[in-house]
């Protein structure tokens, strides 16, 4: 049996692994490289793609799923195994779709045919994100997907006491990244300082992921939250919420008011949001969900605290937009407008080299306070300690990563590990 690295090791993006054994082969993830200076697609031949019987998707992010059209184009006709949330995000309508969270519970093994069985758990990274332990031809292979044990929002089934012949483990933050607790503390302090100074904060966040962590911290510090409609809709969607979100966070949401942000780049008009108390929501309200989110509230009124510390009762505000790299013109305008009003942009994730987020940071109009959605090298070593892995392959990490070599193998795209 062999594990082929099609992408995602010694680089960030295009995560894609191919396991081949006997007459069957399967993929784990099919991601796209976001860095504009690199080849965006996984390193694969038509033969490798067409011959694969299965594709597991750990979660919806583009660096794990963006190459799906590429796979279809080159002849992939196998089964796709993922969670309901991920499949809906990607609008997957494939007749070969297998919803793993409908088939089994976390920690429960399920057979998929072809000599393949799988056990999954929640990876703490975003809605619908999972790790996978695949049993295949007497071997066990663990893929953590994007994994963190530090989210205060997403549930995680910690990987403990597990045996695997190979474990492909998230190590996106490498040796230099601080651990999750440290990052969270630094983020909290930044937000608390801004609150004291009554300054508005702009948080550019991805579509699915750490935006909810930001919302939680703001609510905990009693700072009004304004967020893109899509973020609020995802938060209010109760379908799978209990599966992926921690109880304490859901309880917090129920007692909170979130404001839906509308019509960027004009920072000023807002629409009334949602009091997210389930008990107040009857069937009719659910029906008119769109109306629920678009009821006008004093259009043209400034955000409370948008100008720092002038009037009584004005305070800080947290504004979340779904554009983590600030690629949209409207997002850029908003960041500048906010700066002009005494506010600051707070980046919580990695900036791409050609992004406006990076430009803002370099110009000191933004600060970077990471919220961990991945692991650093120490956290990878902790997983090594708490489990029995014959070989560990770090992924999602930069090219310069080195380890003590004991059982950690740093690999590169195009390389093969024989099992
Ligand atoms: Zn991800
Ligand atoms: Zn990723």
Closest CA to 348 of 222, 208, 187: 187
- 82/55 Cα distance (integer angstroms): 9
Distance 23 CA to ligand 1 centre (A): 31
For 111, 200, 284, 317, the CA distances from 325, given in Å and listed in that order, are 40, 19, 38, 21
For residue 195, what are the contacts with CB-CB under 8 A and spacing of at least 6? 221, 223, 315, 316
Instruction: Say whether pLDDT at 83 is over 60.
Output: yes
Q: CA-CA-CA-CA torsion for 100, 106, 111, 115, nearest 10 degrees? A: 100
- Of 254-263, 284-293, 398-407, highest mean pLDDT: 398-407
Please give the pLDDT value at position 270.
32
| 301 DSSP 8-state letter | P
For 141, 376, 379, the CA distances from 390, given in Å and listed in that order, are 10, 20, 17
Q: What is the pLDDT of residues 110-168, one digit of tens each?
A: 999 888 999 999 999 999 999 999 999 999 999 999 999 999 999 999 999 999 999 99
CATH of 180-368, one of 1.10.3720.10, 3.30.930.10, 3.40.50.12780, 3.40.50.10890: 3.40.50.10890
Among 34-48, 86-100, 165-179, name the one with the lowest average pLDDT: 34-48
SS3 call for 164: strand
φ and ψ at residue 385, rounded to 5 degrees: -65, -40
Give the DSSP per-residue string, 225-239.
EEEEHHHHHHHH--S
- Reading phi first (left if > 0) and then psi (alpha if -120 to 50, else beta), residue 137 is in left
Distance 307 CA to ligand 1 centre (A): 35
Instruction: Say whether pLDDT at 354 is over 90.
Output: no
Distance 147 CA to ligand 1 centre (A): 8
Domain ranges of the chain: 2-176+373-418, 180-368
Which listed ligand is nearest to 395 at the C-alpha? Answer: 2
Distance 214 CA to ligand 1 centre (A): 16
Instruction: Say whether pLDDT at 288 is over 80.
Output: no
φ and ψ at residue 95, rounded to 5 degrees: -65, -20
Matching residue, tokens 């992921």? 209
**2-176+373-418 sits in which CATH class?**
alpha beta
Matching residue, tokens 């994994």? 147
Please give the pLDDT value at position 262.
58
Distance 374 CA to ligand 2 centre (A): 8
Question: Which of 318 and 27 is assigned the larger pLDDT?
Answer: 27
8 A C-beta contact, residue 339 and residue 220: no
Q: What is the pLDDT of residues 223-258, one digit of tens each?
A: 988 888 888 888 888 788 899 999 999 999 888 878
Question: Which of 339 and 156 is assigned the larger pLDDT?
Answer: 156
Instruction: Say whether pLDDT at 53 is over 60.
Output: yes
| Residue 369's pLDDT band (cuts 50, 70, 90) | very high
For residue 249, what are the contacts with CB-CB under 8 A and spacing of at least 6? 152, 153, 212, 216
Among 189-193, 217-221, 319-323, name the one with the lowest average pLDDT: 319-323
Tokens representing 195 are 């609150």
Distance 305 CA to ligand 1 centre (A): 33
Distance 299 CA to ligand 2 centre (A): 38
Which residues partner with 23 through β-bridges? none
Distance 399 CA to ligand 1 centre (A): 19
- Reading phi first (left if > 0) and then psi (alpha if -120 to 50, else beta), residue 262 is in beta
Same fold yes or no, 2-176+373-418 and 180-368: no
Distance 283 CA to ligand 1 centre (A): 34
- 125/142 Cα distance (integer angstroms): 17
**Percent of the chain topping pLDDT 70:** 87
| Residue 314's pLDDT band (cuts 50, 70, 90) | low
Q: What is the pLDDT of residues 381-397, one digit of tens each?
A: 999 999 999 999 999 98
Instruction: Say whether pLDDT at 55 is over 70.
Output: yes
SS3 call for 380: helix
Which listed ligand is nearest to 209 at the C-alpha? Answer: 1
Ion ligand 2 — residues with CB < 5 Å: 63, 146
Instruction: Say whether pLDDT at 272 is over 70.
Output: no
**Percent of the chain topping pLDDT 90:** 64
- Reading phi first (left if > 0) and then psi (alpha if -120 to 50, else beta), residue 153 is in alpha
For residue 194, what are the contacts with CB-CB under 8 A and spacing of at least 6? 201, 316, 344, 346
Tokens representing 280 are 């107040």
Distance 98 CA to ligand 1 centre (A): 21
Instruction: Say whether pLDDT at 363 is over 50.
Output: yes
- 409/44 Cα distance (integer angstroms): 21
For residue 172, what are the contacts with CB-CB under 8 A and spacing of at least 6? 12, 146, 374, 375, 396, 397
Please give the pLDDT value at position 300.
32
Pairing verdict, β 270-275 and 116-122: unpaired
Average pLDDT on 56-76 reads: 96
SS3 call for 373: coil
pTM of structure: 0.87
H or E, element range at 46: helix 46-50
Instruction: Say whether pLDDT at 290 is over 60.
Output: no
Average pLDDT on 14-41 reads: 90
């Amino acid at each position: 049996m062999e594990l082929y690295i099609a992408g995602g090791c010694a680089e960030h993006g295009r995560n894609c692994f191919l396991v081949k054994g006997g007459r069957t082969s399967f993929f784990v993830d099919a991601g796209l490289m976001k860095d504009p200076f690199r080849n965006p697609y996984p390193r694969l031949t038509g033969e490798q793609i067409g011959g694969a019987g299965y594709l597991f998707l750990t979660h919806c992010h583009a660096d794990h799923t963006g190459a799906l059209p590429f796979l279809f184009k080159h002849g992939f006709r196998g089964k796709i195994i993922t969670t309901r949330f991920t499949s809906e995000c990607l609008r997957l309508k494939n007749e070969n779709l297998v919803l793993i969270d409908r088939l089994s519970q976390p920690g429960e093994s399920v057979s998929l045919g072809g000599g393949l069985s799988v056990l999954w758990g929640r990876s703490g990274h975003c809605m619908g994100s999972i790790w996978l332990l695949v049993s295949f031809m007497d071997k066990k292979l663990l893929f953590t997907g994007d994994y963190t044990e530090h989210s205060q929002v997403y549930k995680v089934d910690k990987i403990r006491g597990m045996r695997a012949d190979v474990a492909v483990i998230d190590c996106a933050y490498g040796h230099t990244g601080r651990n999750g607790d440290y990052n969270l503390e630094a983020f909290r302090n930044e937000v608390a300082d801004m609150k004291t100074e009554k300054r508005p904060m702009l948080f550019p966040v991805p579509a699915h992921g750490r935006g909810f962590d930001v919302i939680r911290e703001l609510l905990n510090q009693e700072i009004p939250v304004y967020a893109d409609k899509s973020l609020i809709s995802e938060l209010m969607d109760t379908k799978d919420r209990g599966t992926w979100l921690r109880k304490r966070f859901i309880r917090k949401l129920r007692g909170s008011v979130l404001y839906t942000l509308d019509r960027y780049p004009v920072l000023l008009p807002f629409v009334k949001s949602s009091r997210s108390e389930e008990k107040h929501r009857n069937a009719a309200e659910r029906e008119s969900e769109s109306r629920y989110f678009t009821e006008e509230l004093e259009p043209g009124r400034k955000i409370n605290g948008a100008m720092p510390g002038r009037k009584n009762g004005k305070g800080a505000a947290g504004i979340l937009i779904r554009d983590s790299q600030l690629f949209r013109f409207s997002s850029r305008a908003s960041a500048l407008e906010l700066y002009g009003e005494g506010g600051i942009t707070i980046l919580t994730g990695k900036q791409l080299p050609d992004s406006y987020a990076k430009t803002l940071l370099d110009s000191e109009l933004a600060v970077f306070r990471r919220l961990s959605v991945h692991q650093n090298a120490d956290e990878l070593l902790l997983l090594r300690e708490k489990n029995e892995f014959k070989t560990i392959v770090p992924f999602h990490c930069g090219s310069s990563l080195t380890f003590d070599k004991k059982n950690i193998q740093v690999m590169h795209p195009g390389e093969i590990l024989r099992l």
